[in-house]
Structure 1
Amino acid sequence: MGFGSRSPLFGFNDSESSRGGLLLKTVAAAAPDGSSSSQGHTVPLLQEMADMDTEIDVPLLLDQVEDNRSEQTLESPTEDELGVESLDYDPIHSFVSSQQRRAQQRRHFYGYTGLTLAKWSITIMIGILVGIVAYVIESSQEVIISTKKQWTEDAINQGLHLPLVFFIYASFGISLVLFSSCLVLFWAPAAAGGGVTLVMAYLNGNDIPDFFQLRTLITKCLGTICTISSGLPIGQEGPMVHIGAAIASSLTWMHGRFPTKKRQGSSSSHSSRLCCDRINQLSNKAFPFDFHNDKDRREFISAGTAAGLAAAFGAPIGGVLFSLEEASSFWSRKVMWRSLLCTSCATMVLSWLNKRDFSLSLPGSLSFHGLRPEFSLDDLPLFVVTSGAAGLLGACLNTAHGWLSQLRPSSRHRLLRIIEACSITFIAVGAIFSLPHFFGHCLEIQKEQEDEYWFRYTCPGADSITGVGYYNDLATLFFSVPHQSIQRLLALGSTVDSYFTVQSLCIHWMSFLGLFILAYGIATPGGIFMPSIMVGASFGAFLGRIFQIWLPSANVQPGLHALVGATAMLGGVFRSSISLVVIMVEGTGGIDFILPVILAIVISNWVAHHIHHAGAYEADLERLGEVCFLPSEPPHKLIAITAGDIMAPGVICFNEIVSVAEVVKVLRETQHNGFPVIRRTESDGCGQLVGLILRHQILLLLEQRALMEVDSQLLNRHLAPRISSRQRVTKEQQFYEHAMRVYHHSHYPHRRYLSSRPEALDELDLDEILQEAAPSVANGTGANGNNDQHTEEANNPAKSNSARKTVLALDLRPYMNRAPLTVRGECSAQRVFIIFRTLGLRHLCVTDSSNRVIGMITRKDIGKAQQQLEQSEGKFVLERQESDGSAFFGDRTNRDVLFSLP
């Protein structure tokens, strides 16, 4: 993403475009079947033309514009450096793929190819697995929390000193957090935080390294259980979104090619290569459908995201709307239907595991069914006050998190990160032990109250005469399972006003909010949905009790104010609208509460917007300087500038048949992932755009030695090659095209940025080939020597015949994207944004009136233009300089920035 050969910032790969200089080398060829040879099994050009049944003319390579930054040294990423690249949501319309699609359309059974059935089957499997994982996480943390609570009560009843009970309780909680943080810091850094922000970034078009790796999924599940059970104010709803997306990603990656092992050094054998090819062929027969392309995987991950949230809240419709409104940047009718099926399967499976009944009425791990409070229109003014105050709390939470994130230790100091997590756990456990001891109130257990929930703590035992028991209201709120406490707060009615005192509610929401701010961003898995609901419900119940005291004649129900406060807190933190309304209505199980919920969302969003401009997800995405998130609406300021203002000029272009030496040099000197393919015209001698080739496609051709031997003079002729639409596609071309689709899965799964490093060429063992082909360099067929040599040979034909030699080349025509999207340089930058965002592009070529490439636009260029316009108050001055990120995070690494998010 970005242009020029730049050194990566924090290891983020700035490698979406193609510009820079060229240096000439040549390499030896190998057999098209992938075998390597010291002499090289070359394919003469005439034989290749005979096989393709078409006339081949080879053009002269376009004169390249040298970039003075193209000679910068590219360093390999360190252990803490991870690269972020764009995803290829736009399918490649190559000649081979189009011919294969035509052939596949004729292979059907009564009009069906089976692809749709396979997608629906995988969608159902995603929902089932998400429901099972949600049940395991929910039941595990509930058992651990309930056991800890029961042990604490028994230990106090047995006469153990409270400090001793506290240290045992704290030691257990710290052990859980220590285990969780060590898993994150030393094994799977991508599992930290909630993961919703990075799911949004991925579905927007950014490839987050290791984010959907299996170890990340395992760490997310185990770490979430440990973190919630430790006593920290952390929820499981955000991690469930990440878990659902990771399950969807894992299921789609199970199909297709067997991962080819990377060669180590130059000792890779031809037999092992053929063995992998045979395994790949067998796997293709066993799995006729592969979903390794980013477009299909995006649809499944959107469905998995919806299922994760639906399982957390018991809201199948709310999960779909959350994926539509917040997570997914690309939506369609088929994605909506798959998401609905996926959420329904997840909630029904979770309901059956909980109640042994397939139902959508009581499935979620954070559902609040059974509420009975009622309201009248006279209560709306009080709801407005509660909504505004809770929205203000949500905005203050986001502001405090942004400020505190700058003070957290760097992941370079892993010990400090572990100490931070353990210290906050110790503080949290100390608060839930000390605050009830000094400020809790001992209240009588009413007949309608359940004995299992209420916690006696330091209160006296049941009266031997009357049998009346007592409970500590503040200790009950702290020690109980969170969703049970939230349900009790939402159930407070006008006739029941003794469950929790006003002082206890005030201390609870204030202390819980403070602990929430401290725990928000530590190096452990955990989300912020549940803590936000807890703070909002406690704060709303507190205001409801205040209104009861101030307005004794009004029918004030603190439970309704708790519901309004919880909804408003979510609105102030996340700034969502429709999805939150549906989630709260489905979660409470009553349509009667829809008016207060809508009012809470509207008021809280309005108030929070004037305090903090963005929600939790948007604010964290803004801090990710190298993750370019494109919002749904284009910035209005972009209308004043054009595509020519934001494009990167001096794009590296390849001929349709290009010298291998030039390709190798370009790949070594740059990190770009897109190279326009041009064709020289006889009229003006300039190159016109005919296609676009990606870096991984070229690497695959080099790896499989899909080379051809051509006369060096043919590379200097102004001829126009054409491929007939009736051309037959060979088996080798089909194999290469399929291998290109699954290249990242086979070579660099979950870290595709590694293919943009110069080290990717070293793994291809091209040294011997380059050395043997070195004499061919004497002809000077490089990017800068083509024009001079061509002119000299035209004036001196005798010298041209004496200098005629053969070189190795790559034929890009069968595999290049023959329909790359382009815009004119005069096009509005706002329209460029709309095209880029709507179609999910990675590269957008800028051409002139003669269809000649004059620049390239990527996601990074749009992001930089938008940032510069905001900083310069509408005056756009293009400065292609990288930010060091110190304005936000100082010496924090990308692990801190990426993997400590909600």
Structure 2
Amino acid sequence: MTNDAQQRLLPSEPITPTHRQPEPDLDTFDCFESNSLVRRIEVRRRTRGFFRHRAVVRWILISVVATFTGLIALLIWVVTRGIQHQKLSATHRLVRSGHVLAPILVHCGTSCVLACMAAMLVAFVEPIAVSSGIPQIKCVLNGLKIPRVVRVKTLFVKALGVAFSVAAGLPVGIEGPMIHCGAICGAGVSQGKSTMFGIDTSFTKFSGFRNDKEKRDFVSAGAAAGVACAFGAPIGGVLFSLEEGSSFWNQKLTWRTFFCSMMSYFVLAMFTSALVDDNTWGRLNDSSMFTFGDFTAMGQNEFTYSAYELPLFILMGVFGGLAGALYNHLNMLITKWRRVSVQNPGRKIFEAGTTGLLFALCTFSISLAYRDRCISIDESHDSVTQHIVRFYCDEGYFNPLASILLVPFDQAIKLLFHSSFNFNYTDLLIVFTLIFVASCWCYGLSIPSGLFIPTLFAGAAFGRAIGQIVNDNAAFATVDAGTYSLIGAAAVLGGMARMTISLTVILIEATGDIQYGLPIMMTLMTARWMGGCFNEGLYDIHIHMNGWQFLEFDPPPVVQYLLAFDIMSIEPIYLREVETVARVVEVLTNCQHNGFPVVERSEPSSGAVMPAFCGMIKRHHLTVLLQAHCFSEEMPEPYKSPPRMQYAAMETSYPRYPTIADICLTPADLESFIDLTPYMDPAPYVMQQLAPASTVFRLYRTMGLRHIPVVTKANRLVGIITRKDLTHIRFRRQLTELVNDQGAMADHVGLYEDVSQYEFVKNFLERHRAP
């Protein structure tokens, strides 16, 4: 086969290996509950009252997660608003006094200091709190254990750092960090334990919540609550967890996630209602951290768009997809440069401070340079006049650029959505370019930051320009420029994030007007399709660049040529039903595997490659058994000796089980025997070696597994499959080896064509014929 033919057979990856970090050695959540003898004994002891008690406690914990998430959102909102108010008030006060240099120094100096403070928290306290946290939470919900991502220290740095980042005026948002904060609340509250504060409650320990499955479900609920607080979109939060992260979902999880989103939004709304301008406690309108304003005001709910405008919205989606693809590619290049040039904490802090200084200088200088474009306040005659900024204009006039660039982003977006006056096209182009480029640069700075709001901001400026162009050139009708601004915001955000269902609902809930549903859906789908022609969504790009083994919803097309036999790890390390303590210690010392196949004690019969498979046992169960000295001097009979330890006691140390280095054993202990049969899972999910790799992939992903043993028809163990064997890179590598081994193939044969008549397939089937 020629090189060209092989390249057609093996399509290139979205992220080439040169763009990736080496795959880190990450652990995987084990969400499939063991069926061992000790656990069956534990389950059979449970009464109806136990399950009722656990159900009640679970709903209480969900309420606590929602409350904590809402209170953290409130804290971020109060701190951010307070710092922004003091900073902008001081700047505008000096501007009104006629000074030029002093307001520049105040505006740029405070931005630089705040950006440095945010970067110092990340660089010196908790580096995992960098950026939005959405890629990390997507991986957690997908089953990956990323170290320190759901620690309380990470929550502290994330919440305080994003408040400083937003208050600095950087083009960053709060939605990603809020999702991360909510996920941390879900993980922490459900476990009832914090090493940072030395907290270790007992009421969750004995209720069955300290395990990977419950932790994952609570993280899903917390992430949804974060979306609900950020945008006032509880339904959108549920759909975000479903669409973007969770690999396992059920009806009960939907109810709990929805309740958590609703409660968190209610908690935030109740407190913010007392802190808004009219101080009316209990008035819950516009009570999320970021609002789009009232789209039902000023007659915006009357004939906002017509059928002939839908093609324009689709074209805006095309632009949004192209802009998003460019945005993602540029950010990928910037991230690659940062990993080479900005590594130590000092450089990270310097980069963040310099970025804050330069962006503040740009916004102030641009507003100052175009101060001759003042607009009469009487000409605006709408409800957003409270957001406008005079900025060196005469009395009764305001500076439109300063009203966009020198105010909080939510006020600027409301001005683009709801103002009745026309902006200068140059102003809108400047705003779009500045926010687009600056936010692309800022994502990846050593600060907590989000992307939704800055991309919405850039898209709103683009959409506003399109709406005004249509108004200026369409003689037969007048369109609502605010509607075009909203559609432009959706287009650019969708082109970057590639979200559809959840983002549609989030935007509809944020606008409070269901009639925008159709154009938003059409725009987001178009943006996703167009952007997908060039690269992946930005969060997926960062997942691949970090080398995290994220499993997509479907396996890649190349998997149709692979079997379980092709992708499995051969010669797995195994234990026998009854082993010596010395052998167990040797295995645990020499490898870091988290699970081991258990095989028959007897020697394999003549001609057999491996002994018969009996079950799986987890690494932490072995260490717990050794630490508790659950072994005997005499060799026990498998399946007949009673268990020496209860299942609840084996799981008490979750998630920090003892390591083999923590266990002290005497030479006499090493000569003892340990019966593994009461503690192993005798009926795990198993695949025959001829099973399609696509079936293995879907089983592993949907059931939340950690290992899949591979056996022959005679139940002989031949290999084992873990997460690293199911990645796209692994599939591609294995198929490359198959192609190289199977001989020539016609040059015109491609991956998606029928190749059943070719010698390649005949050899392929012959090779995998059952032994």
Q: If the length of structure 2 is used for normalisation, what is the TM-score?
A: 0.86
Residue deviations 1:50-94, cap 9 Å, x none?
Answer: xxxxxxxxxxxxxxxxxxxxxxxxxxxxxxxxxx21111111111
How far apart are the structure 2 equivalents of 1:419 and 1:871? Answer: 46
Question: Is the 1:196–1:327 Cα contact (8 Å) retained in structure 2?
Answer: no
Residue 382 (structure 1) shift: 2.3
Which of structure 1's runs of 4+ aligned residues deviate more than 3 A? 9-14, 258-261, 283-288, 356-363, 409-412, 447-452, 680-683, 864-867, 869-878
Matches within 5 A, 1:594-605: 594-605=517-528
Which residue pairs with 2:663 in the alignment? Answer: 764
Q: Deviations over 1:456-508 (max 9, x none)?
A: 12222x1xxxxxx111111110111211211221124xxx234x322211111
> How far off its partner does 1:294 sit?
0.4
Q: Among 189, 207, 220, which residue is 2:145 paired with?
A: 207
Deviation at 1:588, TM superposition (A): 0.2
Q: Secondary structure at the match of 2:222?
A: helix
Residue 259 (structure 1) shift = 12
Q: Which residue number in structure 2 is paired with residue 898 of structure 1?
A: none
Query: Matched residues in 2 for 1:408 and 1:874: separation?
Result: 37
Match of 1:402 among 327, 332, 335: 332
Instruction: Indicate if the aligned counterparts of 2:387 and 2:415 stay in contact, CA closer than 8 A.
Output: no
Amino acid at match of 1:422: G
The alpha-carbon deviation at position 173 of structure 1 amounts to: 1.5
Query: Partners of 1:531 and 1:631 in 2: how far apart?
Result: 27
1:475 maps to: 402
Aligned pair in 2 of structure 1 residues 864, 485: CA closer, same or farther (>3 Å)? Answer: closer
Alpha-carbon distance in structure 1 between the residues aligned to 2:223 and 2:140: 11
Which structure 1 segments of 5+ residues have no match?
1-8, 15-83, 262-278, 463-468, 715-719, 748-754, 775-806, 879-902
CA distance in 2, matches of 1:361, 1:471: 28
1:390 counterpart = 2:320: yes
Q: What's 2:249 paired with?
A: 331
For the residues of structure 2 that align with 1:654 and 1:545, how far apart are their CA atoms? 72
Asked if 1:342 corresponds to 2:260, the answer is yes
Aligned-partner Cα distance in 2 for 1:582–1:813: 51
Whether 2:535 is the aligned partner of 1:613: answer yes
The answer for the alignment partner of 1:580 in structure 2 is 503
Q: 1:683 and 1:426 mapped to 2: Cα distance?
A: 71
- Total equivalences in the alignment: 704
8 Å Cα contact 1:646/1:865 also seen in 2: no
Aligned counterpart, 1:422? 353
Shift of 1:455: 1.1
Are 2:686 and 1:836 aligned? no
User: Whose relative contact order is higher, 1 or 2, with alpha carbons under 8 Å and at least 6 apart?
Assistant: 1
Which residue, out of 647, 650, 654, partners 2:571? 650
Rounded Cα–Cα distance in structure 2 between residues aligned with 1:830 and 1:403: 33
The alignment partner of 1:114 has SS state of helix
Q: Structure 2: which amino acid aligns with 1:92?
A: S
The aligned amino acid for 1:142 is R
Taking structure 1 as the reference length, the TM-score comes to 0.74
SS at match of 1:845: strand
C-alpha contact (below 8 Å) 2:182/2:223 kept by paired residues = yes
Counterpart contact for 2:686–2:708, Cα < 8 Å: yes
Report if aligned partners of 1:649, 1:855 keep a CA contact under 8 Å in 2. Answer: yes
Distance 1:156 1:284, change over 3 A: closer
**Pair 1:849 & 2:740 matched:** no
Q: CA deviation at 1:552?
A: 4.2
SS at the partner of 2:684? coil
1:137 aligns with 2:76: yes
Residue 229 of structure 1, aligned match among 150, 157, 167: 167
Q: Which residue of 2 aligns with 1:532?
A: 455
Q: Tell me the distance in 2 between the aligned counterparts of 1:681 and 1:698.
A: 21
- In structure 2, the partner of 1:521 is 444
Q: Give the SS at the match of 2:73.
A: helix
- 2:295 equivalent in structure 1: 371
Q: Which residue of 1 aligns with 2:89?
A: 150
Distance in structure 2 (CA, Å) of the matches to 1:173 and 1:826:
61
Aligned to 2:185: 247
SS in 1 for 2:570: coil
State whether residues 724 and 730 of structure 2, in contact with CA within 8 Å, keep that contact through their aligned partners in structure 1: no
1:763 Cα offset (Å): 2.7
Tell me the residue number matched to 2:33.
91
Deviations 1:565-599 (A, max 9, x none): 11111211111111111111111000111121112
Distance, in Å, in 2 between the alignment partners of 1:383 and 1:321 is 24
Per-residue deviation at 1:539?
A: 0.9
Shift of residue 656, structure 1, vs aligned partner:
1.6
User: 2: distance between equivalents of 1:296 and 1:564?
Assistant: 39
Q: Which amino acid aligns with 2:309?
A: D
Q: 1:439: which partner in 2? A: 370
Contact 1:691–1:818 (Cα < 8 Å) also in 2:
yes
- 1:65 is matched with which residue? none
Q: Corresponding residue for 1:313?
A: 231
The CA deviation string for residues 267-303 of structure 1, in whole angstroms up to 9 with x for no partner, is: xxxxxxxxxxxx99xx657853141110011111101
Q: Matched residues, percent identical?
A: 31
Structure 2 distance, partners of 1:424, 1:285, is 47
String of CA shifts for 1:158-203, please: whole Å, max 9, x gaps: 243x233222222212211111111111111111110011101011
Alpha-carbon shift at residue 871 of structure 1 (Å) = 9.0
- Are residue 488 (structure 1) and residue 415 (structure 2) matched? yes
Match for residue 392 of structure 2? Answer: 458
Distance 1:868 1:173 in 2: 47
Counterpart Cα distance in 2 of 1:831 and 1:877: 24
* Secondary structure of 2:687's aligned partner: strand
Q: Residue 733 of structure 1: SS of its match in structure 2?
A: coil
Matches within 5 A, 1:486-885: 486-492=413-419, 496-498=420-422, 500-610=423-533, 612-625=534-547, 627-681=548-602, 684=605, 687-710=611-634, 721-723=638-640, 733-734=645-646, 737-747=647-657, 760-766=659-665, 769-770=666-667, 807-863=671-727, 866-868=730-732, 872=736, 875=739
Q: CA deviation at 1:667?
A: 1.6
The change in CA–CA distance for 1:607 and 1:98 in structure 2 (over 3 A counts) is: same
CA contact (8 A) 1:636 1:830 kept: no
CA offsets per residue over residues 363-401 of structure 1, 9 Å max, x none?
Answer: 322222411431222222322232222222112111111
Is 1:289 aligned to residue 201 of structure 2? Answer: no
State the one-letter code of the partner of 1:824. Answer: Q
Query: 2:760 maps to which residue?
Result: none
Query: Please, what is the CA RMSD of the aligned residues?
Result: 2.7
For 2:248, give the aligned amino acid: F
SS of residue paired to 1:854 = strand
Shift in Å, 1:219: 0.5
CA distance in 2, matches of 1:123, 1:877: 54
